Structure 1
């Protein structure tokens, strides 16, 4: 596949200012050095706990936020330093779909006007704007009768479809989807996800899919990137991430994934991480996950692990002791350089239906 997006050393730091003179005393490192790429027509999912930097990453790639450092290369062009009118061509190529379908639509505009707004901003509405809006409504599973309705007249799922139609209006090549179904009922989630997959096949879209729900991620992704405290700790093909995770944090996340097969639920053991996520303004030395990791050793505090491939399948992880490198039984024993560790317990799971 052709590479569409390349992110190199991407960072977003927010300054901490205190005192009467508002002196700069530190930084909140929301995103602290990301490297990954995306191909045309691919879905890359960003997963991790709340506050790990997923949404901030998506907003920087869509250039709703300016990065503090690093490069964002879209279709061979560095867009990380663009501003003002220079961003206008990018707006047609990269669109953002927001999480909350109730807050992302104007209550004063009809669905037609909401979807037509990007076309008017581009100056293309006069040509065939009305027909384009009708086409977009049909693409997302709505009808032309919905065009004159206001946001309060739609259900949550219908509002998200209107938001999707608005994002598709300029004809983008990349959609950044920030928790696009988390506010919806489970049955509606399946409908929207299947709609996204169909549109990807028809239009060749690339998706940066941001979510904390691994059941949905498993349903939509080609590759998965796992984030922790502003860094990617593991990235690779969906099948490899789910069947053979190498990083302890990935393993802990997957242990909480619902199991659809009732016969296999007793096989799953839940890994409960102890302690809180460290502050992004003062991350731990070495491996950032070591304060909650049951594999942590002295080297984890002194040396930051690199994101490297251990096999030739595009699967990379950042861990001094990836899965399978410690002897049997040792991998669930807390190490001397960390104080929290993790425990293992039985898990009760609820399956997310596939539609």
Structure 2
């Protein structure tokens, strides 16, 4: 299909497709459709009404209930995979082997083994594999990254991060709450966003050990549902994952991270946050609350306490993730974009679940 285009030549328009037309897939569709250098030529979904709706809305003529047929016939350069987690690996690998560059939704796969097979396929085929961690493209995250880079915080030794919902289990009894299909509950679904955001801000240090616990207090009783998806608990479908997870991570540079993720808890409202403790200052980023978002930095100026509110730019979210993917396809080195960072996230998640099952701290990697 396509490789990086020399900067001196006009870029060839890329032929794009999207597999899966749920909420996330719809964001990818909109991003491709808005890019003047891309032709959105094919969509694949099992739901006829979604194929019709988004195909008509964006003038996409090629519509496939069968994603494999799309890969065979649509002559794609790039494809987004926005399907249930257990389908990411087989779909991504098939696309890579068909010569198509792949952007897949998070979490990367339902297991570290499946994620590893995706990375291996990317390396084997020389095609790019990226994972859409859209929250690291927030404007406040970019602003906090600039604060860290400036040195205002000094060395960061400790971070607290988490995403906790009042009631937000996505589809009791659907694939979200079936362990083999999802790979986990709240930690794999929304905790991975905060894990990715925090390690990204800290400069990608390796995680060496994990000590975690998981709990399922609401889902098994049919409580804490978000209204997203259909509840099948009353019909006997088991709730097989956690609705709360906590983890303590030790990093290679000696820093530590406390991570929590929950779909349902008796709290006033939802809250996403990252708090950083540095030798010269501290910072807190909070978003997703009824009170609004904020980014605050605490430090000292001339020996006096100072509070700083950094300027925040616009959010990028999924559109930025798609734009970054397109840029990498055009100008990046495929050997440097094989999904390796997302694989590290998958390995941390798996270590957390192993630790919770064993009731002990476990090692990660070498």
With structure 2 as the length reference, what TM-score do the two structures score?
Answer: 0.30
* Between structures 1 and 2, the one with greater helix share: 2
With structure 1 as the length reference, what TM-score do the two structures score?
Answer: 0.30
Q: Choose 1 or 2 for highest CA Rg.
A: 1
